[in-house]
Amino acid sequence: MYRVKVPATSANMGPGFDCMGVALDIYNTVAAEEIPEGLVIENHGRDAGLIGKDDSNLIYKAMKTVFEKVGYIPAGLKITSYNEIPVARGLGSSAASTAAGLILANAMTG
């Protein structure tokens, strides 16, 4: 099993607009492992009910991109996320999910 902890962010820093940002002390922790078959996604914590549990999940999409790029086909995949970052509140939940997926898939594929 692979695990990563990714921070919330804000990229609207006064006169820096989207050029300056800051990592915040709020995190999502995501674990991923290869399983014999299928796709299992478990979401826990803040806004868990708002996060997809199918192939629309941003973590899964990011992982799939890496898998396709390197030619890796997992038999199955289990993703478990523990969320502190609120969804759709400007704190980078989408970016955190994407970063987590890219990092996890990169680790899984060596």
List, for residues 30-86, the tens digit of each pLDDT value. 999 999 999 999 999 999 999 999 999 999 999 999 999 999 999 999 999 999 999
Q: At what angle do helices 58-70 and 93-109 cross, to 10 degrees?
A: 30
Output the pLDDT for position 13: 62
CATH code assigned at 18: 3.30.230.10
Dihedral angle over CA of 52, 53, 56, 57, nearest 10 = 70
Domain span at 48: 2-109
- 12 or 35, greater pLDDT: 35
The structure's pTM equals: 0.89
pLDDT of residue 55: 94
pLDDT of residue 22: 74
Strand order in the sheet with 22-35: 2-10, 22-35, 76-83, 38-45
Question: What local confidence, expressed as pLDDT, does residue 91 receive?
Answer: 82
DSSP secondary structure code for residue 82 in this structure: E
Domain count, the chain: 1
**HSE-CB of 99 using CA atoms within 13 angstroms:** 14
